[in-house]
Amino acid sequence: MHETTTLLVEVGALLLLLGLLGRLSRRFGVSPIPLYLLAGLGFGHGGLLPLNASEEFFAVGAEIGVILLLVMLGLEYSANELVGNLRSAAPAGLIDALLNALPGFAFALLLGWGWVAAVVLGGITWISSSGVIAKVLGDLGRVGNRETPVILSVLVIEDLAMALYLPLVTALLAGVGLVKGGIALGVAVLTVVVVLVVAIRYGHLISSALSAKDPEALLLGVLGLTLLVAGVAAKLQVSAAVGAFLVGIALSGPVAHHATELLSPLRDLFAAVFFVFFGLVTDPRDIPPVLLPALALAVVTMGTKLLTGYLAARRAGIAEPGRWRAGFALMPRGEFSIVIAGLAVAAGTVEPRLAALATAYVLITVVTGPMLARLPDMGWFKVWLRRRATIRRPEPVPTTD
């Protein structure tokens, strides 16, 4: 009974603190992710007030948080939209992967962490934060801008790539080797293709089995189906997160719309728990030694994201200001970077400093990224763009009569 009482006190106090931090972040117009990570660091191992009784609770909550993040992501896209975006944005997605995964991969090798840690760090630096970017676009009133579909296309490609990347990195972290890792990737690819085909042809039948008119039954049905498929996927070594993502894709129409509304509060709750848990298992004393490397990596990969957005927008025929807005908007990393780092921490088979580096890296990009996204709207930046356009514009050739 004493342990249960302590658990209630710790969980209640921390959730109350998260609520206050979330309100504080929204008042200042920033993402709450950095504050959730800092809260976890403060109450985790080596923190100011370590929480012991509730660690197992937060571990389970963190796993549910990852699953809900992925199913909600899948609900945002239909199978047809994913296939269409894959065709149109594939070149931009390839540029994105090369420019942003390779720096993280090379950085881990330079630090002597091994090639498995390099694959993990490459994923951490590759994937932008869809949640933070969507909030930034809304706050800055850019949802209707011409460059916004380009940004979203890049994010969709990254989200789809996660369905293939996560099983591979899970297999590598388990130490199964390249051959079995390749088999895991093959199974993941086959699973994604099968689910997309089923969703395109029979998605309406899956959705019709869940009534959109009964909120309680819909919530229980979608949540139960998601957890069930995620668990089966984990048993098959495909990754629970990928299973949840595929469930979201398979649902469509009114069911997907109402499920999004019902699951959003749960997603926000358990996503916050997930970020806190990652902070809990990261010793804050490990961060100062990797702070400068994290800063250097952030500077390099924020620059490569800027180039990614600029090139993708230029390829789509967007004007110069829109290219810069697209590049700056893609800079923040967040939930998926922490998900990937969390897999590495749970496996315990890679460099221990990776968690601290990932935490510092995400904190830097998620705080500075939204601030830098405002630069294209500033007067001095617009003046600089006009001067740049004038310099690049060829002088008219004088004619003689």
- Which residues in 218-247 are b (16+ Cβ under 10 Å) and which e? bbebbbebbbebbeebbeebbbbbbbbbbb
Which range has the top average pLDDT, 10-19, 96-105, 182-191, 228-237? 96-105
Looking at residue 285, what DSSP letter applies?
A: G
Question: What is the C-alpha separation between 210 and 122, in angstroms, rounded?
Answer: 39
Q: For the chain, what is the domain count?
A: 1
Residue 304 has pLDDT above 90, yes or no: yes
The pLDDT value recorded for residue 327 is 95
47, part of any domain:
no
42, part of any domain:
no
Beta strands in 64-173 (DSSP E): none
Which range has the top average pLDDT, 164-168, 236-240, 264-268, 317-321? 317-321
- State the sign of the Cα–Cα–Cα–Cα dihedral 158, 162, 168, 169: positive
Q: What is the pTM of this model?
A: 0.76
Tens digit of each residue's pLDDT (9 = 90 or more) over 94-123: 889 999 999 999 999 999 998 889 999 999
More confident residue, 301 or 84: 301
Q: Which has the minimum average pLDDT: 5-19, 103-117, 198-212, 362-376?
A: 198-212
Question: What is the C-alpha separation between 30 and 65, in angstroms, rounded?
Answer: 21
The pLDDT value recorded for residue 169 is 82
Greatest alpha-carbon span in the chain: 100
346, part of any domain:
yes
Residue 399 has pLDDT above 70, yes or no: no
Tokens 């789509």 belong to 316
pLDDT band at 137 (very low <50, low <70, confident <90, very high): confident
Question: CB neighbours of 107 closer than 8 A, spacing ≥ 6?
Answer: 118, 121, 125, 293, 297, 300
101, part of any domain:
yes
pLDDT band at 401 (very low <50, low <70, confident <90, very high): very low
CATH number at residue 93: 1.20.1530.20
Structural tokens at position 62:
């963190």
Residue pair 39/33 in contact by the 8 Å Cβ criterion: no
Q: Which domain holds residue 83?
A: 57-137+152-376
401, part of any domain:
no
The pLDDT value recorded for residue 122 is 95
Please state the rounded mean pLDDT for residues 259-282.
82
Tens digit of each residue's pLDDT (9 = 90 or more) over 341-393: 888 887 777 888 898 899 899 989 988 888 899 899 888 988 888 888 787 66
Give me the numbers of helices (H) and strands (E) for the chain, helices first please.
16, 0
What's the whole-number average pLDDT of the chain? 81
The pLDDT value recorded for residue 309 is 94
Tokens 């961060």 belong to 287
Q: Which has the minimum average pLDDT: 106-110, 212-216, 322-326?
A: 212-216
pLDDT band at 81 (very low <50, low <70, confident <90, very high): low
23, part of any domain:
no
The pLDDT value recorded for residue 252 is 73
20, part of any domain:
no
Residues of the chain above pLDDT 90, percent:
19
312, part of any domain:
yes
3-class DSSP state for residue 350?
coil
